[in-house]
Amino acid sequence: MTDQQVDFDAMIEADQRIEPRDWMPEAYRKSLVRQIAQHAHSEIIGMQPEGNWITRAPSLKRKAILMAKVQDEAGHGLYLYSAAETLGVSREDLLDQLHAGKQKYSSIFNYPTLTWADVGAIGWLVDGAAITNQIPLCRCSYGPYARAMVRICKEESFHQRQGYEILYTLANGTPAQHQMAQDAVDRWWWPSLMMFGPADDESAHSAQSMAWNIKRHSNDELRQRFVDMCVPQAEILGLSLPDPDLRWNAERGHYDFGPIDWDEFWRVVKGDGPCNRQRIANRVKAHEDGRWVRDAALAYASKQRARAAQTKEHAA
């Protein structure tokens, strides 16, 4: 074992942060790039299902809140791409891999938002699941990722509250509105449980990621935490969760829940969900449409650089 490896292991053992200039094993770097890139892609693809409702939000206030939320998600993508860049990869390359289907994004964003209540269900369930998964990532061993997560989690908490408030309003509205909220929860519940990834005995990366202090809890532990949190919240909303097996288990001190449809999960992850093709096609088009902005920004930056060099020359 090299001295560098010994130092790295000691840092992890002492629960210290690894920073970009520190030596790290290639497998650690690669695994972080994989996870952070997937996370960044999820944030920007995640703008689409909700962006779909900006023009149809039921009031000016709702529209302003939703616009701010979708904009926050773009910001999260940017912090995360920046964190990935500290590991020696370029944002351009990561985006190319997303567009070519070589890097993943969260399965959840391949489901359609059919009604306004879906915006509420995404906030409550999808952002709720995201927070459950991401709070422990604030203690991830890689410094830039952990620090990005602190701000992201603060904003996600606001997102979760706004979703809950939309659902609470609908659930306590007319019978048709209540039904719309129930239908949205029925459709988003199971895909939200899938966000935590495969069951522990099927999770390829968990053991190593936990040994490196990247992940602090297993997929199943976080999924259970999420279910335990949602059940009492659903009761307050007056909505049911679509699982006949959901019940309190006093022995375990947790809610038991029914089996997850892993065939559906893997189908969606592998590109065959209800909206996969549409999500990628929209993303590629947005990237192409934005090319002139990137070109203009680069041209401006190089002009500024040339001007600064000239000024320096004159001063010398």
Dmax (CA) of the chain: 79
Q: Which two tokens stand for residue 254?
A: 């947790």
C-alpha distance from residue 150 to each of 36, 81, 136, 139, 262 (Å): 14, 15, 10, 9, 31
As measured in angstroms, the least distance from the Cβ of 211 to ligand BYC is: 12
Nearer to ligand BYC, 212 or 255 (CB): 212
As measured in angstroms, the least distance from the Cβ of 161 to ligand BYC is: 13
In angstroms, the CA 124 to CA 118 distance is 10
Tell me how far the alpha carbon of residue 260 is from its chain's centroid. 20
User: Is residue 255 helix, strand or coil?
Assistant: strand
Nearer to ligand BYC, 42 or 182 (CB): 42
In angstroms, the CA 285 to CA 303 distance is 28
Nearer to ligand BYC, 126 or 175 (CB): 126
Tell me how far the alpha carbon of residue 22 is from its chain's centroid. 27
Amino acid in the structure at residue 51: G
As measured in angstroms, the least distance from the Cβ of 45 to ligand BYC is: 8
What is the full DSSP assignment across 47-80?
A: HHHHHTTGGG-SSHHHHHHHHHHHHHHHHHHHHH
As measured in angstroms, the least distance from the Cβ of 171 to ligand BYC is: 21
Which residues contact ligand BYC by CB under 6 A? 34-35, 38-39, 42-43, 46, 73, 104, 106-107, 126-127, 130, 133, 194-198, 203-206, 209, 215, 219, 269
As measured in angstroms, the least distance from the Cβ of 6 to ligand BYC is: 26
As measured in angstroms, the least distance from the Cβ of 138 to ligand BYC is: 12
User: Is residue 132 helix, strand or coil?
Assistant: helix
In angstroms, the CA 262 to CA 174 distance is 36
Tell me how far the alpha carbon of residue 84 is from its chain's centroid. 14
Nearer to ligand BYC, 24 or 273 (CB): 273
Q: Smallest Cα–Cα separation from 240: which of 231, 249, 248, 253?
A: 231
Nearer to ligand BYC, 30 or 247 (CB): 30
In angstroms, the CA 194 to CA 129 distance is 10
Nearer to ligand BYC, 204 or 296 (CB): 204
Nearer to ligand BYC, 38 or 177 (CB): 38
Nearer to ligand BYC, 25 or 177 (CB): 25
User: Is residue 249 helix, strand or coil?
Assistant: strand
As measured in angstroms, the least distance from the Cβ of 263 to ligand BYC is: 14
As measured in angstroms, the least distance from the Cβ of 10 to ligand BYC is: 24
